[in-house]
């Protein structure tokens, strides 16, 4: 399973990349692999205010719909509308193809997330459960 | 409850299948991916392990009378070595299960039922036998029989290579009570659950793995793929074939579900008939319709259906972004006032209400032979 450096991760397998006051949010390789062929991405509205842990959108495979949760809170400043027409981009490269860009409200919320090393360890515990 | 494994389980592992518990069985959900597998069945051929299905033998001099009373279709007009699709109903018209009925002759039938319902169905059959005091024997042979389904436009060519009889001799919903596949004695019917031509092959548990592997080997030149339960559901849905637990249940009657071709109200009596006749005479209050989404989104099982005012008027029974058609479609149970073609209604998808309209249920033309 591919894990990228310099990102923060949630237990639900979302990732967060911080650039200044902004954050880019996407889903990790583990999630896209579990989902299989992605056929639909539901995006929020720009200017929506979202809280950490809130479901701001959804990602759907052929079989089922899964919520996407915000790693940190903030205001949606941009959505990746390419995913409306080509949701499979998330399967192709889930780290390149972010889902939303937000203006982060409180950066200290990132302290509740896992860094790359911690996320790798977390994935190993999931493998053991299987 | 222990999760059971079919005899083909280790082959699924070797093929790299994603396996999941389904109806008490550890079953392959997908191998290469649902989309790929779905297309293989529509365009070439696919092989399904459906050994989890249940089989019950009905034998004896009143076998035909028993089956007639047990199911909604007219057993008395079914010819030898043919099959029909039917449902078993409670007295109130709710559905016990749907099934295929194989008729050998007036005294000998094979009933094929859903894996999740085997115990419930067998108990129901026993109660019907007692109630009517039918002179028959009932035998649940589910534990001894394995089944694979070969489906798709290339199915006949593939199976013919290892069959000792001419498959062209059986039309859709007919069967060979005895035929050798790769030298092994089987029952083979021309039938399936995909909307494509194809065959369902039954044999004893210990022989199924060699048949599974041989079909995949022979089918390689034709582009055959093993198919999981994921694509089995997308395929049957596009062909407007019902799934028990979705379109059919003990709260839904076959008339509401709209599978009237399997319900013969003017034939001899059967369990549930009076309730269904009454329902029809009084007029249906709700029924299952086809829906096409006009807004973006994917309708899913049990999502609420609303009218323009936002009142709940029904629920989605099955929905997908159709792989063959590329658009979001659904089957939904709705109040009769909203069942006319082109009626606009809404589906609650998470926080949003997506507009949809009623369309015909024949989403896709069936390719039966």
Other beta carbons less than 10 A from residue B205's beta carbon: 14
- Tell me how close the Cα of A56 comes to any Cα of chain B, in angstroms: 10
Confidence (pTM): 0.94
Residue pair A122/A11 in contact (Cβ under 8 Å)? The answer is yes
The domains located in chain A, with CATH, are: 10-107 (2.40.50.100)
Helix (H, G, I), strand (E, B) or coil at A102: strand
What confidence score (pLDDT) does residue B139 get?
98
Tokens at A110, concatenated: 């990132």
CA–CA gap between residue B304 and residue B311 (Å, rounded): 10
Are B300 and A65 within 8 A, CB to CB?
yes
DSSP state of A49: E
- Tell me how close the Cα of A20 comes to any Cα of chain B, in angstroms: 31
User: Which residues on chain A are in Cβ contact (under 8 Å) with B296?
Assistant: 40, 42, 84
User: Which residues on chain B are in Cβ contact (under 8 Å) with A58?
Assistant: 350
For the stretch A78-108, pLDDT in tens is: 999 999 999 999 999 999 999 999 999 999 9
Are A37 and B33 within 8 A, CB to CB?
yes
Host H or E run for residue A107? none
CB–CB contacts below 8 A, A to B = 39
Considering CB atoms only, which of B18, B296, B323 is closest to A62? B323
Residue pair A23/A17 in contact (Cβ under 8 Å)? The answer is yes
- Give the nearest chain B residue to A66 (CA atoms): B350
What confidence score (pLDDT) does residue B204 get?
98
Residues lower than pLDDT 70 in chain A: 129-130
The domains located in chain B, with CATH, are: 4-53+144-238 (3.30.1360.120), 54-140 (3.30.70.1400), 285-359 (2.40.30.110)
The predicted complex's ipTM stands at 0.85
The pLDDT averaged over each successive group of 10 residues in chain B (369 residues) is 91 96 94 95 98 98 98 96 98 98 98 97 98 98 98 98 98 98 98 97 98 98 97 97 98 96 95 97 97 96 97 98 95 98 97 96 88
Considering CB atoms only, which of B33, B297, B350 is closest to A36? B33
Give φ, ψ of B235 to 5 degrees: -70, -45
DSSP state of A62: S
Host H or E run for residue A35? helix A29-35
Residue pair B82/B140 in contact (Cβ under 8 Å)? The answer is no
Chain A residues whose C-beta sits inside 8 Å of any chain B C-beta: 36-37, 39-40, 42, 55, 58, 60-65, 67, 84
Residue pair A37/B33 in contact (Cβ under 8 Å)? The answer is yes
What confidence score (pLDDT) does residue B365 get?
85
- Three-state SS across chain B? CCCEECCCHHHHHHCCCEEEEECCEEEEEECCCHHHHHHHHHHCCEEEECCCCEEEEEECCCHHHHHHHHECCCHHHCCCCEEEEEEEECCCCCEEEEEEEEEEECCEEEEEECHHHHHHHHHHHHHHHHHHCCCCEEEECCCCEEEEEEECCCHHHHHHCCECCCHHHCCCCEEEEEEEECCEEEEEEECCCCCECEEEEEEEHHHHHHHHHHHHHHHHHHCCEEECHHHHHHHHHHCCCCCECCCEECCECHHHHCCHHHCCCCCCCCCCHHHHHHHHHHCCCEEEEEEEECCCCCCCCCCEEECCCCCEEEEEEEEEECCCCCCEEEEEEEEHHHCCCCCEEEEEECCEEEEEEEECCCCCCCECC
């Amino acid at each position: 399973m591919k894990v990228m450096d310099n990102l923060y991760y949630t237990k639900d397998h979302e990732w967060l990349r911080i650039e200044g006051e902004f954050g880019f949010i996407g889903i990790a390789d583990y999630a896209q692999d579990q989902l299989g062929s992605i056929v639909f991405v539901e995006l929020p509205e720009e200017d929506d205010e979202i809280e950490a842990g809130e479901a701001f959108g959804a990602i759907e495979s052929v079989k089922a719909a899964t919520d996407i949760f915000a790693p940190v809170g903030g205001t949606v400043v941009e959505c990746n509308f390419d995913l409306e027409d080509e949701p499979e981009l998330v399967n192709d490269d889930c780290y390149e193809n972010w889902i939303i860009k937000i203006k982060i409200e409180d950066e200290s919320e990132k302290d509740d997330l896992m860094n790359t090393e911690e996320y790798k360890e977390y994935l190993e515990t999931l493998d053991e459960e299987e | 409850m222990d999760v059971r494994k079919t005899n083909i389980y280790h082959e699924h592992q070797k093929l790299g299948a994603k396996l999941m518990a389904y109806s008490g069985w550890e079953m392959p959900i997908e191998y290469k991916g649902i989309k790929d597998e779905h297309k293989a069945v529509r365009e070439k051929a696919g092989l399904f392990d459906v050994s989890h299905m249940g089989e019950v033998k009905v034998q004896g001099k009143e076998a035909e009378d028993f089956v007639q009373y047990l199911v909604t279709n007219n057993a008395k007009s079914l010819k030898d070595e043919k099959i029909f699709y039917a449902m078993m109903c409670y007295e109130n018209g709710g559905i016990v299960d749907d099934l295929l009925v194989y008729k050998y002759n007036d005294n000998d039938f094979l009933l094929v039922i859903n894996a999740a319902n085997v115990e419930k169905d067998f108990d129901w059959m026993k109660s019907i036998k007692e109630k009517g005091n039918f002179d028959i024997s009932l035998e649940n042979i589910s534990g001894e029989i394995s089944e694979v389904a070969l489906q798709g436009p290339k199915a006949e060519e593939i199976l013919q290579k290892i069959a000792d009889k001419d498959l062209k001799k059986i039309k859709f919903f007919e069967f060979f009570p005895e035929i050798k596949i790769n030298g092994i004695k089987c029952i083979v019917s021309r039938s399936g659950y995909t909307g494509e031509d194809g065959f369902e092959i039954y044999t004893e548990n210990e022989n199924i793995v060699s048949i599974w592997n041989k079909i995949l080997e022979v089918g390689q030149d034709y582009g055959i793929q093993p198919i999981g339960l994921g694509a089995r559901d997308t395929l049957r849905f596009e062909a407007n074939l019902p799934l028990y637990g979705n379109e059919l249940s003990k709260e839904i009657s076959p008339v509401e579900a709209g599978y009237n071709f399997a319900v013969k109200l003017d034939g001899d009596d059967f369990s549930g008939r009076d309730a269904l006749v009454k329902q029809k005479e009084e007029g249906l209050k709700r029924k299952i319709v086809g829906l096409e989404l006009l807004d973006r989104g994917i309708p899913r099982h049990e999502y609420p259906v609303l009218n323009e005012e936002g009142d709940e008027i029904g629920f989605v029974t099955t929905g997908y972004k159709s792989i063959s058609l590329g658009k979001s479609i659904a089957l939904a149970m709705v109040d009769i006032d909203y069942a006319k073609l082109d009626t606009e209604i809404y589906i609650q998808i998470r926080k949003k209400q997506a507009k949809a309209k009623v369309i015909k249920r024949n989403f896709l033309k069936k390719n039966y032979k």
